[in-house]
Structure formats: structure tokens, C-alpha cells
Amino acid sequence: GAVVSQHPSWVICKSGTSVKIECRSLDFQATTMFWYRQFPKQSLMLMATSNEGSKATYEQGVEKDKFLINHASLTLSTLTVTSAHPEDSSFYICSASPGGMGNTGELFFGEGSRLTVL
Amino acid sequence: AQTVTQSQPEMSVQEAETVTLSCTYDTSESDYYLFWYKQPPSRQMILVIRQEAYKQQNATENRFSVNFQKAAKSFSLKISDSQLGDAAMYFCAYPRTGNQFYFGTGTSLTVIP
């Protein structure tokens, strides 16, 4: 199947700093990628839909100025957590599908990134 | 609104036995896909099985099969001959728009040796 890779897997930062997480589709082009957030023992919550070459679409309640998403190429989307606070600590997961938004086939997930804000 | 419900937060099964995980969903669509994803301790989500709603035949992938009841909007996952490696969180998922998925709250499966 298709491969989606995230980096870094783990990151620890100080409160007030910014952290960037990368999501890459390694063997396919992804015009659309999705960013999820997962709290311990809870489900995945969709944060935003990243669209190549245009602005991301954020879910209700997600602060677009705190969670900056850039999808500059067909294989890379980045999530930047700005001015991080301890409550931003979470597991962040990206996903993509070779079929894009119009396809309801399998969704491939990155390995996830564990963010801890001290 | 389309939602996905998993009523079993935790389940356990003896190794080599069979276990069924429940999932119900709500949709007004007539043609759609349903998925079961597995999230092992490594945390990367892995597709277990997919069902297309217009197909009456239940999907099967080796030891994994589904019981899809479209009228009841039920989509349960059966794991046969359970193995230690099956221990994980299992999420039922429904794509609301394209690949924007709704996920259930998950079922944590423990496999007892």
C-alpha cells in the first residue's frame, strides 16, 4: 500500500516555542492531506484538511492561527504548532489517500508525532 | 449528522478464540464505504478491512470478517483465531466527505495468552 511518513516521531519543546511536524506521501501525490489529533485512549479528531496550493480547511473549534498548515507540494504538508502550551501536548497524526478528496478508498496514516510541551 | 458509535470501550479474548467488535453508524447516504482500522501500541493506524455499502456480501480478509447490516446501520468486526498481535485499539470509520473520516471512540482489545 501507499506510504505516509511523519517526522519527528517525538518532540519535546518549551512553552512558548513553535514546533513543526512534517507529513510526506512517499510513493504517491496527495493533493489533500488530513491532520488529526488524538488524546490518550481517545479517538482521532480531525483538525484540518490540508489542500495543496491553497489554504487549509479547519474544523470548528480549531485555532487556525495556532495550528498553521502549509501544503506547498503534492508530497508534503506541515503542521506548525505556534506558541505551544502544555495543553497542546498530544499525539498528532496525518493521513492521505492516493485518490484525493473524490475517492473513498483506503486512507493511509503516518506514524504519528508525540508532542510534549513543558 | 453522520456519527460512528462503538459501544465497547474494552474487550478481551482468549488466544485462538473469536471476538466480535461492534459498530453502528448514522448516515443518510445510500452508497458509501465503511472501514475498520487497527492502532497497535506503535500508534500507526493500519487498515484491517473495508466494506462497500452497495455490496451485500460481507467483506473478509483472512481471519477478519465483517457483519454488515445496512438497514440496521451496523458494521461489526469478527476476529477469528485471535493472536497476540491482534491486541490493539480498533476504530470503526466512515468517510463523511471524500476522505474526511468520522472515527468511532475505539475498542481496546486485549488478547489473553
CB A24 within 8 A of CB A4: yes
Alpha carbon distance B113, A96 (integer Å): 36
Question: Which secondary structure element, helix H or strand E, spans residue B100, and what is its range?
Answer: strand B100-103
Taking 50 as the threshold, does the pLDDT of residue B24 lie above it?
Answer: yes
User: What pLDDT score does B80 carry?
Assistant: 98
**Are A95 and B45 an interchain contact pair (Cβ–Cβ within 8 Å)?**
yes
In chain A, whose CA is at the least distance from the CA of B91? A43
In terms of pLDDT, which residue wins out, B98 or A28? A28
**Are B50 and A106 an interchain contact pair (Cβ–Cβ within 8 Å)?**
yes
Closest CA to A90 of A34, A19, A28: A19
Name the interface residues of B facing A (CB cutoff 8 Å). Answer: 32-33, 35, 37, 42-47, 50, 91, 93, 95, 97-101, 103-106, 108
Alpha carbon distance A117, A19 (integer Å): 10
Closest CA to A46 of A33, A59, A63: A59
A62-115: pLDDT as tens digits: 999 999 999 989 999 999 999 999 999 999 999 987 765 445 567 889 999 999
User: What pLDDT score does A105 carry?
Assistant: 65
Residues of B in contact with A91 (CB under 8 A): 43
Percent of chain B with pLDDT over 90: 73
A30-70: pLDDT as tens digits: 888 999 999 888 889 999 998 888 889 999 999 999 999 99
